Amino acid sequence: MEHQHLSRAIHALQQGTTFAAVLSDGRLVTSEKKGIAPMMELLERDASALEGASVADRVIGRAAAFLLEKGGAAGVYAGILSTHAREVLEKCGIPFSCGEETPYIINRAGTGMCPMEACVLELTDAAEAYEALRQKLAELSAR
């Protein structure tokens, strides 16, 4: 079933969404939002929303990988995956595949590392990373 769910999530991604997840109950959730916003919103609403989910995202960096670990995702596909994300996914045992791997995720201005990936670069614990990301998002939205 898991492979079928991941195929469905990837198909939704190919239809133009930026994020797609087939939840453990078979429901498809999609989003047009960029970055970690779709995962953060799901986890804020329900901490167990991603438990057993198959997730497809255009870009997955270390921040998103920690969110997937915290949420308990069952499988992941990334159009672009950072090497930092690969390390997290391998360590926590979430099966993944990707279209291409890059050393790190570039910020939207194209001038350096994504602030979310930079925020959790030195962290190794998913719960700690989640809190750091919540703080970073609050800080960025206050600007």
Please check whether residue 28 is in contact with residue 54, taking contact to mean a CB–CB distance below 8 angstroms: no
pLDDT, greater one: 19 or 143: 19
Torsion of CA 131, 91, 38, 26, to 10 degrees: -130
Domain 2-141 sits in CATH 3.40.50.1000: no
Predicted confidence at residue 143, as pLDDT, reads: 77
Q: Binning pLDDT at 50, 70 and 90, where does residue 20 land?
A: very high
Give the DSSP letter of residue 74: S
* CA separation for the pair 84, 126 (Å, rounded): 13
Predicted confidence at residue 63, as pLDDT, reads: 98
**What pTM does this model have?**
0.95
Residue-range domain boundaries for the chain: 2-141
pLDDT digits (tens, 9 = 90+) for 21-37: 999 999 999 999 999 99
Mean pLDDT of the chain: 95
